[in-house]
Amino acid sequence: MVGILSILALLFIVNKFASFYLENIIKENLETKNPSLSGITYSLEIEDWNIDLVRGNLQAKNISLKPLKTISHSALNDDTAAYILDITISSVKFTGLRYHFLSQKKVTCDGLNIDGICCEIKHYPKDKEDTSTKKIETNPYHLIEPYLEELNVKKLKTSNGQLQYFRFEKSDTMQFTLNNLSLQADRFSINKDWQRGIKKTLLCDNIKLELEKFSHSLPDEDYTFHCESASINTSDSSLRIEGLHIEPVHSKMDFARLSSKNSDWSELKLEEIKLIGIHYHKNIIESVFFADSVYINRLEYQNFKNQNVASIRKLSSILYKSLQRAPVKMGIDRIRVDNSSVVYEELPRAKNEAGIIKFTDINANISNLTNIASENTINILAQGKFMDMGLIDAEFNFPTNSLTDIFSIKGTLGGMNLIGINDIIEPLVSCRIENGQLHRVDFDIVGSDDSAYIDMLVLYSKLEVVLLKSINNKNYPQRFVSGFLNKLLLPQDNPTEGCSIQTVRRVTYRNKYSSTFNYLWKIVFGGLCETIGLSEQKQQYLQNLAKEVKEIKENTEKIKQKKNAIGKRR
C-alpha cells in the first residue's frame, strides 16, 4: 500500500514539474517570439492557463492577438499588404494533448474547444496592383509559426464566435458581421509539408459551420441581404439557409426615383433552401459550383414597375443569357420548389393604381440548371394558381448554349370567373369585366431575346365588358360605348354559336430595358386581350369612338342651352 502511494506521489510530482517546465517554455515563446502576418507584427497574450500533463489537458483563458502598435491607413506603405487582424478568445481547451518537443514543435490532441472567439479584419485595398513592389505573404500559417510547426486535432469545436470584416475604400466603407458562429471539424490539421516546403493552412474532414442572424448591404446599395441562420455540413455535402430575405432599402413608390442603378422594385423572401450533394472540393479547386439537388420552400417574390418615374434606362439581359454570362461555371441537376408565390405589379403612366398579377401555390421541378453549353435545355415543370383561382400548368425550356437563342413555353390555364382578372386589366387597359366565365386557356410560346410568337386558345362564355374613364383619379363607366362594344365588337362567347373556335397568333417585341418577367407577361397578356376582342387596334378604335361620342354629347348640350336661352328671352 505504501509503495502504491509512493508511486502516485512520484507521478504527481513529475506531473507538476513537467507542467511547470512546459508552462515556462510556453511563456518564454510568448515573450520572445511574435507572429507576423502581411508585414505586421502581432503580440499574443494569455491571462491565465492551467496544464495537466497526466490527463493531457491544457486550458487557457482571455487570449488576445493584437498588432504591436496602432496602424492607420496612411501608415501602410507599398510593401505592406493591407490586412489588419484583432482577435480575442474567451477560452481554449486542449484534451488528450501531446507536445512533441523533439519533433519540430509538433502538437497533437484528441479535442480542441474554442469558445467566444471574436475576429476583426480590417482590409485596406491598394488603389492598383504594383508588380514592382515586394509581395507580402498573407498565409495565416504565419500566426502560429513561431510557436508550432504542426497542429493535429481529432475533433475541433468552436462556439459563440463572431467575425467582423471592414473594407476601407477612399470614398466608402463596406462592412459585415457574422454572429453566433460555430464550427465543428474532424481531423483538423495545420502543418508544413517539409518535403516540398509548402505551408498548408487547413486540412480537415467533415466540417460543420453554423451562423445566425446575418445582414449585409448588397453591392448596388439598393438592397440588404438578411439571413436568420445558415449551416454548412461537408459530411453530407449540404448547405442550408433559413429566413433569407433580400429587402429593398426604398419603398415601392420611391424606389425608381431614389435608386441610381435599378428601375424596378423587387423583394425576395425564402423560408428555407437546402442544397444537397455540393461538390465542395471541386468547387474550391476549380472555382466552379456544382450540386446534385436543391430544395426551396415558401419562396415569395414581388416585383413592382413604376411607369410614372423617369428612371435611368438600363439594358436588362434576359434571364438565361445572364446565367450563360455568369463568371462562374455552375450546374445543378435537380431543383424542387414548393409552396411559393410570384407577384408582379405595374403602375401605368398617369395612373395611381397598379395592375396586379399573382401566381400562388407554386410547385415546380427544375432540371439541368447550368451555364455549361450543351444541346440539353434548362427544363421547368410548374403548377400553381393564377389570381388565386385558375389552376395553371406550364413547361419552360431555356437554352444553355449562347449560340441557340430560342426558348419555349407551353401551358394550360383551367376554368375561373373572369371577374378575377379585373385587378390586372382595370389599370392597364381601362376597362372592367362585369360578367364572364373562363373555361380553358391553351398557350404555346416560341421566342428569343428579341421577340416571341404566341399561339393562344381561350374558351369563355357570357363575357361583358365596361369601358372606364378616369376623372380625378377615379374610374367611371362609359355605358353607351360599352354597350356598343358588347353588342357589335366583342365576341361574348368563344366559340360563338354556329362558328368555329377562334385562336390567336401574335408577335411581341421585347423591350430591352424591361425585366424577363415583364417580357413574358406582355406576351401572354397581349394574346389574352386580342383573343377576347380587346386588341390594341380595337382599344384605340374605342377610345376614338368615346371621344367622338363625348364631342356629340357636348355639342348637343350646347344646342339645348342655346334653345333654352332663346326661349327665356321670348
Cβ(245)–Cβ(226) under 8 Å?
Answer: yes
Q: What percent of the chain has pLDDT over 90?
A: 30
Give the model confidence (pLDDT) of 494-516 as tens digits.
888 878 888 889 999 998 888 88
Range in 147-151, 152-156, 392-396, 464-468 with the lowest mean pLDDT: 147-151
Report CA-CA distances (Å) from 11 to 6, 8, 19, 23, 427.
9, 5, 12, 18, 89
Cell of 252: 415601392
Q: In the structure, what pLDDT confidence band is assigned to residue 70 with cuts at 50, 70 and 90?
A: low
H or E stretch covering 559: helix 536-569
Residue 466: per-residue pLDDT = 83
The one-character DSSP state at 448 is -
pLDDT value, residue 497 = 81
C-alpha cell at 445: 410560346
DSSP state of 137: P
Check whether 570 has a pLDDT greater than 50.
yes
Give the type of residue at 250.
Answer: H
Give just the sign of the alpha carbon dihedral 153, 89, 184, 49: positive
CA atoms within 13 A on the CB side of 93: 10
Between 298 and 254, the higher pLDDT residue: 298
Q: Please, are residues 265 and 256 in contact by the beta-carbon 8 Å criterion?
A: yes
Contact between 27 and 48 (Cβ < 8 Å): no
pLDDT at 444: 96
- Rounded to 5 degrees, what angle do the CA atoms 337, 322, 178 make? 65
HEC sequence for 317-368 = CCHHHHHHCCCCCEEEEEEEEEEEEEEEEEECCCCCCCEEEEEEEEEEEEEE
Using alpha carbons, list the distances in angstroms from residue 468 to 198, 284, 419, 544.
77, 59, 15, 14
Rounded CA Rg of the chain: 35
Q: Which of 126-140, 146-160, 176-190, 374-388 has the lowest mean pLDDT?
A: 126-140
Higher pLDDT, 79 or 67: 67
**Rounded Cα distance, 426 and 303, in Å:** 19
* pTM for this entry: 0.75
Phi–psi pair at 301, nearest 5 degrees: -120, 130
Residue 11: pLDDT over 50: no
Give residue 134's pLDDT: 43
Give the pLDDT confidence of 75-102 residue by residue, as tens digits.
555 445 467 888 999 999 989 887 665 5
Q: Is the pLDDT of residue 203 over 60?
A: yes
Rounded to the nearest 10 degrees, how much is the dihedral formed by the CA atoms of 484, 487, 490, 493? 160
pLDDT of residue 193: 55
pLDDT, averaged across the chain: 79
Mean per-residue pLDDT for 68-74?
Answer: 63
Using pLDDT thresholds of 50, 70 and 90, give the confidence band for residue 130: very low
The whole-number average pLDDT for the span 58-62 is: 88
Cβ partners under 8 Å of residue 210, min gap 6: 180, 181, 182, 183, 229, 230, 231, 232
Per-residue pLDDT tens digits for 416-456? 999 988 888 888 777 888 899 999 999 999 999 999 999 99
Instruction: Quote the CA–CA distance of 21 and 18 in Å, as a whole number.
Output: 5
As a residue count, the chain comes to 570
Q: What whole-number distance in Å separates Cα of residue 249 and Cα of residue 226?
A: 12
Strands 106-123 and 150-168: parallel
